[in-house]
Amino acid sequence: MASEGSKTNILLTQGAEGRVFLSTLVGKLCIIKERFKKAYRHPTLDTKLTKQRIVQETRNMTRLSKEGLNAPAVYFVDTVENKIYMEYIANSVMVKDFLRSLNDNYEDPLTFQIVEEIGKTLAQMHDLGIVHGDLTTSNMLLKIPDDEFQEISRSNLQTYVDQNRVTEVINKIKSEGSIASSMMRVYLIDFGLSSCSTMSEDKGVDLYVLERAFLSTHPGSEAVWKRLLAAYEATSKGSAEVIAKFQEVRRRGRKRLAFG
């Protein structure tokens, strides 16, 4: 494995908690997620807490995969370097990029079908007792079948993350009526803040975080959000309690915004 400064590792994102690279592992494309060490914490405590977060993250991803939900497969975990090596989801785009490409025109059957699939996926995740903790349309991927759009083999990893490739996939989604919505897959990613919980309030907070992120990132998408929530409600076994808690959390949030 080459070092992160080499041409074989491409930095995709970097935040306060860590950074994400596109790389290869034994000749296969993969994603590397690295958690930063926290200098303000005692080294022993930092090592313990970071390891716990990595274990929790990989455990939740693996459980989702085993239960038939779409999450990146975990290849390798390095708790010394604080890195997770996971599956690169080929032929996919962030849901955020797809929705933004619609230029605020969300009223079409394909978009409704996609957000309904998101709602069903979230319901199934919550029914397994997993709370994501950071739901946004940036943490969801829309994947089309590999046999519909073969990823071009590229010697330069940088071309995998160029905007042209993203546009190619989005155009394929929009233009190919032959790709049934049932063949598309919604993948949940970035489980760094995930946890295990059966509490309706925790799941309601998960939905509230997504609603805030959804409506702020995609103005005018209220009808789409309602479709997503309706699909969640129709799928989840415990949806009545979760939706009630979601509405309660929403009311509290609005009160804080109004009165500070």
Asked if 62 and 122 touch (Cβ cutoff 8 Å), the reply is no
Grouping H, G, I as helix, E, B as strand and the rest as coil, residue 211 is helix
Residue 134 annotated to the active site:
yes
Distance CA 176, CA 183 (A): 12
Phi and psi at 13, nearest 5°, equal: -145, 155
Q: Residue 64 corresponds to which tokens in the numbers above?
A: 């989702």
Catalytic residue among 46, 97, 127, 134: 134
Letter for the amino acid at 2? A
The residues near 172 (Cβ < 8 Å, ≥ 6 apart) are 144, 148, 149, 179
Angle between helices 200-217 and 239-259 (to 10 degrees): 60
Alpha helices in the chain (DSSP H): 43-66, 95-100, 109-127, 163-175, 200-217, 222-235, 239-259
- The values of phi and psi at residue 94, to 5°, are -65, 140
Active site amino acids: 134
